[in-house]
């Protein structure tokens, strides 16, 4: 599952991200735009609870619309990780300059897209 984050959605980057996925051999099974409530964002990111990122991530992910896309491809998780690059866009620019996060990410936590193995944010 790919989540296009609020800053990328409001910045008009959704189509560019999903087109890059398709050009990399992914099939978009389903996509929808939604807005997470703060409670749903906290629940979805509960694996970060107790870390400094938890509050910031939950607040950011509930700050605007997101696009959730179910992607399909052989070895999809590893392929998506390669396409999006390291979590920190600044690191991605140094190590994987062709990655989505290197090209589109604004900074740590503002990395345009993420991957999740669950089907839907709860």
47 is annotated as an active-site residue: no
* CATH of the domain spanning 2-115: 3.30.70.141
**Tens-digit pLDDT profile for residues 49-59:** 999 999 999 99
- End-to-end, the C-alpha distance of the chain in Å comes to 13
The domain locations on the chain are 2-115
Q: Which of 116, 117, 120, 122 is catalytic?
A: 116
Q: What is the predicted pLDDT for the residue at 119?
A: 47
CA–CA gap between residue 52 and residue 56 (Å, rounded) = 8
Q: What is the pTM of this model?
A: 0.84
């Amino acid at each position: 599952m790919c989540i296009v984050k609020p800053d990328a959605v409001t910045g008009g980057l959704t189509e560019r991200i999903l087109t890059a996925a398709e050009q990399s051999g992914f099939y978009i099974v389903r996509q929808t735009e939604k807005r997470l409530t703060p409670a749903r964002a906290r629940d979805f990111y509960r694996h970060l609870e107790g870390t400094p990122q938890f509050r910031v991530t939950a607040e950011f992910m509930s700050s605007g619309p997101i696009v959730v896309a179910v992607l399909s491809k052989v070895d999809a998780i590893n392929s998506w990780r390669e396409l999006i690059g390291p979590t920190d866009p600044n690191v991605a620019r140094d190590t994987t300059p062709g990655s989505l996060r290197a090209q589109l990410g604004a900074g740590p936590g503002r990395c345009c897209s993420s991957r999740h193995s669950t089907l839907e944010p709860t």
